[in-house]
Structure 1
Amino acid sequence: MAQNDIAKFDLSDLAAALGLLSRLPVKVDFDRAQLRGARAVWAYPLVGVVIGALAGLVGTLAHFIGVPPMATAALMVACSAITTGAMHEDGLADSADGLWGGWDKEHRLKIMKDSYTGVYGVVAIGLSLILRVSLLAALVDQINLIVLGIGVGALSRAPMVALMHWLPNARDEGLSASVGSAPAPQTYAALALGTGIAILCFGSSCLAILIGTAVVTTFWAGIAKAKIQGQTGDILGAGQQLSAIAALLCISAALH
């Protein structure tokens, strides 16, 4: 395949991104996906659209049949976790354990790679679940849940690409290292997609949401840079979780 064939955007990137970031039964051309590598990251916000729409649909149906708001919100979070294989929650837990449980880069990365979950990880997942469920429950009667799922799903995947582009890989192996560093054109395309979809979904409230998400992502990037001098797949997954929480906080504040 010629170099100019692998340098441009490709619709097959969406299938590759869905195959990587979800457990949906998507047919992926693995040879092409491997060849394109990080060029597929521009499609990450579109994966968020799919996952968010499914969660929003579940929430809408639950609310329609009279399920209480807290249970409706829990079903939405459960749908998202099932659809992604809880990979972002796992990233958050591993990041919390490693970054705060280790005393140097090597030890932190070793803890993050370990399959066991420690106290920091349990607390991180618990707080993430509590915040997302409680914030979604407060929004059940305030906003179209499908629109909410699409907007937050798309916007929270864009920071993953930004972290891949602006932070080096902290280790020479692992999921993030195997995908590679996000090229600039695909990074800006992902940010534009995430931002554009959020603007369409949230309208006048979007500026505060974008600022909140950017602040949280920048803060998280600074922590990762200080503690392990870069990013890993766990750092990216945690970035998605933190961005989603930030977006929900800003949406809730805007609507109440």
Structure 2
Amino acid sequence: MRLGPVLSAIQFLTRLPVPDPGWEEGRLRAALAFFPVAGALVGLIGAGVWWGAVQVLPAAVAAGLALAAMLLATGAMHEDGLGDVADGLGGGATAERALEIMRDSRIGSYALLAVGLAVGLRWAALAALSAADGALALVIAATAARAAMVPASCIAAPARPDGLGRMLGQGADGRGVGLALGLGLAAALAGGWAGLGALVAALVVMGLVVRIMRRRVGGMTGDGYGAIASLAETAAMLVFAAAWGGT
């Protein structure tokens, strides 16, 4: 396995310092298969902070610190995408207007509500788990969410002729999709039935976001992929809260 695509996936999805793999044609397409690896690293960062903090702090505070660490690791890029999608779809009556709003850097009420609810639900879900369960849930949820982004690149055309959505819309090939889903499944199996349920929830969210984006703006944008990651991670954490919360 070449290391370049793995480093490209980490470089693209996180703020983590990695050696620059350099540019080559099709680099992002090759990196798609390894998006779950980047997700696993982000999850491990959150899990480490959660594990250490929950030993000395209340669960709600530890959960907030863990999520803050994960958001710092990604630069909150997925939440930024979710917010832009919420503003665009909430405020745009036409596809053209929705896409215009998504490109606007200003934050509207729909964005605040969507991001606040997504992060808040993750926070509450994590705080309901034990130290060990919470650490495992963070890794699986973050991995599953990034794995869910990959098949979306194959089943949805880009909404614009330019931008990140067009680059991602070139899509991973069948082998890349299979590898990404295989990595997501490998992580999910560590959580047993709950882990498998979390992966399924992430994929269901992906399908719903793709369907809504197709209907409203004709395809996917870069913000749409961010929305998939943020909402899929939230859905996965809710599955863990339902399965393991209070145990």
Q: TM tier, shorter chain?
A: over 0.9
Q: Counterpart of 1:182 in 2: which secondary structure? A: coil
Which residue of structure 1 lines up, in the alignment, with residue 20 of structure 2? 28
Residues 122-151 of structure 1: CA deviation (Å, up to 9, x unaligned): 111111121111111111x26344322221
Out of 7, 11, 19, the residue aligned to residue 19 of structure 1 is: 11
Alpha-carbon distance between aligned partners in 2 of 1:204 and 1:133, rounded to the nearest angstrom = 22
Which residue of structure 2 lines up, in the alignment, with residue 85 of structure 1? 75
Q: Which runs of 5+ in 1 are unaligned?
A: 1-8
Which residue of structure 1 lines up, in the alignment, with residue 187 of structure 2? 197
Give the TM-score normalised by structure 2: 0.93
75-84 or 203-212, which deviates more: 203-212
Q: Tell me the CA shift for residue 189 of structure 1.
A: 1.2
Which residue of structure 2 lines up, in the alignment, with residue 187 of structure 1? 177
1:75 aligns with 2:50: no
Which residue of structure 2 lines up, in the alignment, with residue 117 of structure 1? 107
Residues 40-92 of structure 1: CA deviation (Å, up to 9, x unaligned): 1010000011010011001111112x111111110111011100001001000
Residues 213-255 of structure 1: CA deviation (Å, up to 9, x unaligned): 2322222211111111111111011101111111111111112
Q: Counterpart of 1:24 in 2: which secondary structure? A: coil
- Are the structure 2 counterparts of residues 84 and 47 from structure 1 closer, same or farther at C-alpha, using a change threshold of 3 Å? same
Is the CA contact (8 Å cut-off) linking 2:141 and 2:198 kept in structure 1? no
Which residue of structure 2 lines up, in the alignment, with residue 178 of structure 1? 167
Q: Give the AA of the match of 2:22.
A: F
Residues 8-64 of structure 1: CA deviation (Å, up to 9, x unaligned): x632111101111001111122223x4423121010000011010011001111112
Q: Tell me the CA shift for residue 191 of structure 1.
A: 1.2
Q: Counterpart of 1:45 in 2: which secondary structure? A: helix
162-171 or 174-183, which deviates more: 174-183
178-187 or 119-128, which deviates more: 178-187
Q: Counterpart of 1:143 in 2: which secondary structure? A: helix
Q: Tell me the CA shift for residue 204 of structure 1.
A: 2.8
1:37 aligns with 2:28: yes
Is the CA contact (8 Å cut-off) linking 1:49 and 1:153 kept in structure 2? yes
- Are the structure 2 counterparts of residues 60 and 22 from structure 1 closer, same or farther at C-alpha, using a change threshold of 3 Å? same
Which residue of structure 2 lines up, in the alignment, with residue 156 of structure 1? 145
Q: Counterpart of 1:30 in 2: which secondary structure? A: coil
Which residue of structure 2 lines up, in the alignment, with residue 3 of structure 1? none
1:60 aligns with 2:51: yes
Residues 102-161 of structure 1: CA deviation (Å, up to 9, x unaligned): 01111111110110111111111111121111111111x263443222211111101111
Is the CA contact (8 Å cut-off) linking 2:59 and 2:127 kept in structure 1? yes
Q: Counterpart of 1:31 in 2: which secondary structure? A: coil
Q: How high is the sequence identity, in percent, across the aligned residues?
A: 34
Q: Give the AA of the match of 2:76.
A: A
Is the CA contact (8 Å cut-off) linking 1:169 and 1:181 kept in structure 2? no
1:129 aligns with 2:119: yes
- Are the structure 2 counterparts of residues 31 and 212 from structure 1 closer, same or farther at C-alpha, using a change threshold of 3 Å? closer
Is the CA contact (8 Å cut-off) linking 2:48 and 2:135 kept in structure 1? yes
Out of 191, 211, 216, the residue aligned to residue 222 of structure 1 is: 211
- The two structures, once aligned, show a CA RMSD in angstroms of 1.5
Alpha-carbon distance between aligned partners in 2 of 1:72 and 1:152, rounded to the nearest angstrom = 17
Alpha-carbon distance between aligned partners in 2 of 1:245 and 1:134, rounded to the nearest angstrom = 10
